[in-house]
Structure 1
Amino acid sequence: MKLIIAIVQDDYSTKVIKSLMTKKYRTTKLSSTGGFLKSGNTTLLIGVEDEKVDDVIKAIEEECKGKKVNKGKEEINIGGANIFILNMEDFKKI
């Protein structure tokens, strides 16, 4: 079993969650703030069986598109998602 931690921009969170729910994946949503741009993010916690990891990542990729923003004098690319995949020994729903 795996715990997927996906950090997405707030702009994409509703679409990502809806896509995951459509595919029957449950998520826990946490508000977070990025350190570089100091903008709002959403951190999603998703527990899945090992063979479902690629499907979850694909659903996130489909909804998180990059974009360019001005940061001071620079134009930078932001968007997408940061995804961490952790081994999970056990999961219990009470």
Structure 2
Amino acid sequence: MKLVLAVIQDADAAALMRALSDQQFEATKLASTGGFLREGNTTLMIGVDDTRLAALQALIGQTCRSRTRLVPARGLTSENEGGVAQEPVEVPVGGAVIFVLGVEDFVKV
């Protein structure tokens, strides 16, 4: 058995929770905050049998899409101007970060 921790964007959480339920995966949803953009994320804790791990990873990959976003360029300096850059910067966001951990014991009470 494995414990999967999937960190996803809040925008993808509802669709992924529905998809997980449709495929009989049980998940616990936790609110979390990303370190880079300091925005809300969702972290899902999912217990899964080893034989279904690949299917779970594929489902997460199909549901959580990558996209780009413009963010303020706070603190970035421009070498030409010698000051603070004012133009927003396009950064990739979305998708999922998936951690897979071995589970020694699983008890449901």
TM-score (ref. length: structure 2): 0.84
Matched with 2:89 is 74
Identity %: 40
Matched with 1:39 is 39
Give distance in 1, aligned partners of 2:8 and 2:50. 22
Q: Does 1:2 align with 2:9?
A: no
- Please, which runs of 5 or more residues in structure 1 have no aligned partner? none
- Quote the RMSD (CA, aligned, Å): 0.7
More RCO (CA 8 Å, sep 6+): 1
- Please, which runs of 5 or more residues in structure 2 have no aligned partner? 73-87
> Is the deviation greater in 5-14 or in 68-77?
68-77
Aligned residues between the structures: 94
1:6-21 equivalences in 2 (<5 Å): 6-21=6-21
**Which runs of structure 1 show a deviation greater than 3 angstroms over 4 or more consecutive aligned residues?**
none
TM-score (ref. length: structure 1): 0.97
> Which letter maps to 1:10?
D
